[in-house]
């Protein structure tokens, strides 16, 4: 009987969540810059 779920460190989920939030913030800022400049064509 192996309970592998119990050996998962909680810090791993915190790092994963921080990484995802960082990616969202970066892409969000890029998207905002593109939208705020408006169409260039």
Tens of pLDDT, residues 1-41: 455 556 667 788 899 999 999 999 999 999 999 999 877 66
Domain residue limits at 31: 8-37
Q: What does pTM read for this prediction?
A: 0.58
| DSSP code at position 40 | -
Per-residue pLDDT at 31:
94
Of 17, 18, 36, the closest CA to residue 28 belongs to: 36
Q: Which long-range contacts (CB under 8 A, 24 or more apart) does 14-22 make?
A: none
Per-residue pLDDT at 38:
76
Q: How many domains does the chain have?
A: 1
CA distance 17 to 3: 23
Q: Determine, yes or no, domain membership for 22.
A: yes
Q: Determine, yes or no, domain membership for 32.
A: yes
Q: Determine, yes or no, domain membership for 30.
A: yes
Q: Determine, yes or no, domain membership for 1.
A: no
């Amino acid at each position: 009987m192996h309970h592998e779920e119990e050996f998962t460190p909680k810090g791993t989920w915190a790092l994963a969540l921080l990484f995802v939030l960082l990616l969202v913030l970066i892409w969000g800022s890029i998207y905002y810059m593109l939208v705020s400049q408006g169409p260039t064509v």
